[in-house]
Structure 1
Amino acid sequence: MSEANSGASLKRTLGPFSVLLFGLAFLAPLIVFGTYGVISQASGNTTALSYAIASIGVIVTALSYGRLVKVFPAAGSAYTYTRKMLSPNLGFMVGWAALLDYFFIPMLIWLLGASYLSMAFVDVPQWVWILGFIVFSTVLNVLGIQVANRFNILLMVIQLAIIAVFISLCWHYIVAANGPGGLLSAKPFFNQDVPFATTMAGAAIAAYSFLGFDALSTLSEETRDPSRTIPRAILLVALIGGVLYVGSSYFMYLAHPAMAFANVDGAAFEIARMIGGDLFFAVVLAGIIIAHFAAGLSFQASVGRLLYALGRDNQLPRKLFGVLHPRYRTPVFNILLSGAFGTVGFALTIATATSLVNFGAFVAFTAVNLCALRLTFDAGVKDGAGLLRGVILPIIGAITTGWMLVSLDKDALIMGGIWLGAGVVYLACRTSFFRSPVPDALA
């Protein structure tokens, strides 16, 4: 690797359409099919309502991100906002928590993609697929955001086409079985025998499908006119994701209302085979693998930018994390580190990785909503937000995302708490047990 140049800067090459596609790639819309069975089981078969609740929390949080990114168009996302609006110590801790999300999501996505490939090629060890995902994604991200962007366009078109065909086949199957009236039902949203707490537990898992919409803010320094483009893209991605996820789960329930599946992890594949035969089953499987590659590519780019922001601000060792490659103008060390971390997937289960991802994301989402609330009362910054957008919506967002945080399973809360404890120890060492200021960017 060539010597990095700390004087280089990220290159602004992304326009509105590219940013929107990156956001959708972060979401990997086909993931709704991969997680449908798990959420159905956790929510007591009220999957559509769980997705609707998660959508509300995410869309309100997207509005908070949109306000903050206009004021702070930097690559650090929730870390930067909390550091600026609340306190440097809290900013570091939110950034530390977000690392769970950003670090584990590429690994989790590569792990999931490898597991689906193993279904198709049973004789190939899973670690071979994981390694293949890591190497290919890392090379593309090192070469730069423009190279990764070209792949995203193609991969997103394929994903959206498969979703459209899936919903169309569900529609046709439902009408054939129950007539046109079968398309309208409240059952995917309401079951009087299912406690609301059970639906919330499903929403805490369903929110995983949205993770990534916030990562768009880490691309602020590579986007043209970021204060205008990024807020719009974040909100559009959250809205599009909500419509796709609620709609897909609604029609999947109507096509297959029973919660019994031969394999919960492969529930959507059973529905795909039921409505479209073996050929469509293969198409959905291929599409989900493509979706996971696209999402892994985008998330690895994002974790590289978050680490770069932490290094540039001297929160992490600047000589390693806060520099860019002189030719590619990408944080090469951070991208390579993310790729190397992906090999942890050889030893982790999907359930463990998902829990850690959700913990870090919900901490960041809650902090961002609190930052947006604080922004409303900041005399030095006037963003024109009134009572609804400046006070009520951030409070709703903080309550919803905080509720989903405490709705995670016990193991996730314990492991997340241990991670936060490690962050407190690291911060204490960097600040002489909080007697010195948090390390800041050097002049």
Structure 2
Amino acid sequence: MIFGRVKPLAAILAAAEKKSLPRTLGAFQLMLFGIGCVIGTGIFVLTAAGAQKAGPGLMLAFAIAGLICVVAALCYAEIAAMIPVAGSAYTYTYSTMGEILAWTVGWALVLEYAVAASAVSVGWSGYFTGTILNQFLGIQLPSFLAGAPLALGGIEGGFINLPAVVIALLMTWLLMIGTTESARFNAVLVTIKVTALSAFILLTLPSDQFSTDKFNPFLPAGVFGGFGSGIGAIGAAATIFFAYVGFDAVSTAAEETKNPQRNVPIGLIGSLLFCTIFYILVAAGAVGTIGGQPIMGPNGIPFPAGSEELARQCATFTEDNLPLVCSNEALAHVLRQIGWSGVGNMLGIAAFVALPSVILILLFGQTRIAFVMSRDGLLPESWSKVHPKWKTPHVITAVTGIVVAFAAAFLPVGKLADIANAGTLYAFMMVAIAVMILRKTAADAPRAFRTPALWLVGPLTIAGTIFLFFNLPLDAMLVLPLWGILGLVIYFAYSRSRSHLGRGIVELHEDDLEPTAPIHE
């Protein structure tokens, strides 16, 4: 049976032990990993887009997306502590629902991490060329080196987005030389980001220009904008969800974590709660000082974020009265508007300096999932080689980095946050299902962390992810099934026949061996 290839838990743990990665990460480093990936493009770039969709209800959108992530994190925490190996949702699905569904989850996570890493690389390139080169150094990078030819809204005459390529390859190299080195580098960048956002909160919330009147109307586009509309607080939450993409990367580091049963739940839930509180405070500071009302169309519905219609409306404003929803560097713009131009410029620099940590963790998550899929035989086995000196999966890291750099250089990644979200929501739903299945099929297995009220948290996670998915723009919803069909073609043409489990190659500890250990086919 296609759905019958369920990999035993003992086999997953034994395979991880035989071809394993060294355990070097603690709880604090995991929290920094989560914070490093979560605080990034979403808060620095998507604040304006979220305000255009929901107005001051942006705060509610952050809370909705954060709440769904919290219940998902509770599910992740139990299963990641129970199965402390790389692979995240892919591995969890393999152990409960079988190989083909595990492949679809791994394939969806490829979409999530690769698209997101490419998008953040392009975002970093914008800060580098605009803020650093132009504003501070007075250097104008030739247009053919600063814009992608296929990028929507890209620079006219662009041939390659060279800065995006450079930063993607640089982060790839850093991951290749060592996980510990990457974690130390990430800790420095997290400190910069948290300091910058703390300064923003301290300068906006107590500001004389802060007024609760600017939150009225709180929901100019309503709570629910309608199926496929992508507007309203729910539509904004579906987009803002990108601001939380990456907290699940903590679970992909379980195999490289000391005492994962304790540290992985701390890293997951701790980083998520920290970021959610930060996001809501930042949104309150931005809206309360300069306002956050969307620019409405003639039908009383906000113009779509990133649309030509919105761009034309924004062009009618001067820099002195530019609305929040029109700014490409929303937080720095807020500080300039309330008289803190110097700090605003510094915040722009902080975003430029700190965004590489997001790329780093997205690449980390992508490589670890592909590493485990390779270890299972579903991807070329050479990809799971571990470097003798660096102790990292250098082959798959290099392959991933090249693909991400190529996408950042030539492909239209600027509007793909919603597409990345589609893959993430699918993976989160499958994790919740896997936890509930394991409560039945492996009821006696040790659990260092148990999801409280799983009978409620599990279904809430499933319902929440489905609800957000159907509030994505229609084109983003269509990408996931199309990407999934492509993945299934690859699975049946290549991976299924090479699967270790399908060929009867199952690693087991001696204590777990049975006289006839069946492979469920």
Aligned pair partner of 1:404 in 453, 461, 468? 468
Change (3 A) 1:24 1:258: closer
Residue 288 of structure 2 corresponds to residue 254 of structure 1: yes
Shift of 1:218: 0.8
Amino acid at match of 1:304: T
**In structure 2, C-alpha distance between the alignment counterparts of 1:151 and 1:247, rounded to whole Å:** 27
User: Which residue number corresponds to residue 239 of structure 1?
Assistant: 273
Native 8 Å contact 2:78 2:450 kept in 1 = no
Shift of 1:281: 2.0
Residue 108 of structure 2 corresponds to residue 97 of structure 1: yes
User: Which residue number corresponds to residue 287 of structure 1?
Assistant: 350
Change (3 A) 1:196 1:414: closer
Moved more, 341-350 or 247-256: 341-350
**In structure 1, C-alpha distance between the alignment counterparts of 2:327 and 2:428, rounded to whole Å:** 29
Counterpart of 2:396 in 1: which secondary structure?
A: helix
Shift of 1:349: 3.1
User: Which residue number corresponds to residue 50 of structure 2?
Assistant: 39
**In structure 1, C-alpha distance between the alignment counterparts of 2:402 and 2:411, rounded to whole Å:** 14
Native 8 Å contact 2:238 2:418 kept in 1 = no
- CA deviations 1:118-151 (Å, max 9, x no partner) are 2222412432311221232122111101111111
Residue 297 of structure 2 corresponds to residue 297 of structure 1: no
Native 8 Å contact 1:300 1:339 kept in 2 = yes
**In structure 2, C-alpha distance between the alignment counterparts of 1:243 and 1:313, rounded to whole Å:** 39
Native 8 Å contact 1:93 1:420 kept in 2 = yes
Shift of 1:378: 2.8
**In structure 1, C-alpha distance between the alignment counterparts of 2:98 and 2:233, rounded to whole Å:** 35
User: Which residue number corresponds to residue 107 of structure 1?
Assistant: 118
Counterpart of 2:416 in 1: which secondary structure?
A: helix
Shift of 1:201: 0.8
Matched pairs, number:
431
Aligned pair partner of 2:426 in 363, 385, 403? 363
**In structure 1, C-alpha distance between the alignment counterparts of 2:177 and 2:240, rounded to whole Å:** 33
**In structure 2, C-alpha distance between the alignment counterparts of 1:117 and 1:273, rounded to whole Å:** 19
Native 8 Å contact 1:188 1:253 kept in 2 = no
Identical amino acids, percent of aligned pairs? 23
Native 8 Å contact 1:169 1:276 kept in 2 = no
**In structure 2, C-alpha distance between the alignment counterparts of 1:252 and 1:188, rounded to whole Å:** 14
User: Which residue number corresponds to residue 216 of structure 1?
Assistant: 250
Higher helix share: 1
Shift of 1:108: 1.4
User: Which residue number corresponds to residue 165 of structure 1?
Assistant: 199
**In structure 2, C-alpha distance between the alignment counterparts of 1:333 and 1:387, rounded to whole Å:** 36
Change (3 A) 1:436 1:425: farther
Native 8 Å contact 2:40 2:354 kept in 1 = yes
Aligned pair partner of 1:156 in 186, 190, 199? 190
Matches within 5 A, 1:23-34: 23-29=34-40, 31-34=42-45
User: Which residue number corresponds to residue 388 of structure 2?
Assistant: 326
Change (3 A) 1:374 1:190: farther
Residue 92 of structure 2 corresponds to residue 81 of structure 1: yes
Shift of 1:52: 0.5
- CA deviations 1:21-69 (Å, max 9, x no partner) are 1111111357413211001112244100000000110000000000101
Residue 95 of structure 2 corresponds to residue 63 of structure 1: no
Amino acid at match of 1:283: M
Native 8 Å contact 2:376 2:500 kept in 1 = no
User: Which residue number corresponds to residue 274 of structure 1?
Assistant: 337
TM-score (norm 1): 0.90
User: Which residue number corresponds to residue 3 of structure 1?
Assistant: none
Native 8 Å contact 2:378 2:498 kept in 1 = no
Moved more, 141-150 or 295-304: 295-304
Change (3 A) 1:280 1:225: same
Native 8 Å contact 1:12 1:223 kept in 2 = yes
Native 8 Å contact 1:373 1:395 kept in 2 = no
Shift of 1:355: 2.7
User: Which residue number corresponds to residue 205 of structure 1?
Assistant: 239
Native 8 Å contact 2:37 2:361 kept in 1 = yes
Amino acid at match of 2:399: L
Native 8 Å contact 1:31 1:291 kept in 2 = no
**In structure 1, C-alpha distance between the alignment counterparts of 2:217 and 2:25, rounded to whole Å:** 39
Aligned pair partner of 1:196 in 213, 224, 235? 224
Aligned pair partner of 2:209 in 165, 169, 177? 177
User: Which residue number corresponds to residue 11 of structure 2?
Assistant: none
Gaps of 5+ in 2: 1-16, 135-139, 147-160, 226-231, 294-322, 508-521
Shift of 1:431: 6.8
Moved more, 261-270 or 64-73: 261-270
Aligned pair partner of 1:336 in 394, 398, 422? 398
Change (3 A) 1:103 1:432: closer
Q: Compute the RMSD of aligned alpha carbons.
A: 2.7
User: Which residue number corresponds to residue 181 of structure 2?
Assistant: 147
- CA deviations 1:378-402 (Å, max 9, x no partner) are 3544549889522101111111111
Residue 162 of structure 2 corresponds to residue 128 of structure 1: yes
Change (3 A) 1:412 1:438: farther
TM-score (norm 2): 0.77
**In structure 2, C-alpha distance between the alignment counterparts of 1:405 and 1:317, rounded to whole Å:** 32
Shift of 1:87: 1.9
Native 8 Å contact 2:329 2:348 kept in 1 = no
Larger radius of gyration: 2
**In structure 1, C-alpha distance between the alignment counterparts of 2:473 and 2:101, rounded to whole Å:** 24
Aligned pair partner of 1:118 in 129, 139, 142? 129
Native 8 Å contact 2:261 2:448 kept in 1 = no
Aligned pair partner of 2:488 in 409, 416, 424? 424
Native 8 Å contact 1:78 1:368 kept in 2 = yes
Moved more, 222-231 or 130-139: 130-139
- CA deviations 1:182-233 (Å, max 9, x no partner) are 46x8948943762423211100111111111101111111110111101111
- CA deviations 1:358-411 (Å, max 9, x no partner) are 111111111111112223333544549889522101111111111111211122
Change (3 A) 1:274 1:267: same
Native 8 Å contact 1:48 1:189 kept in 2 = no
- CA deviations 1:263-307 (Å, max 9, x no partner) are 343333321211343211211111111221111112212211111
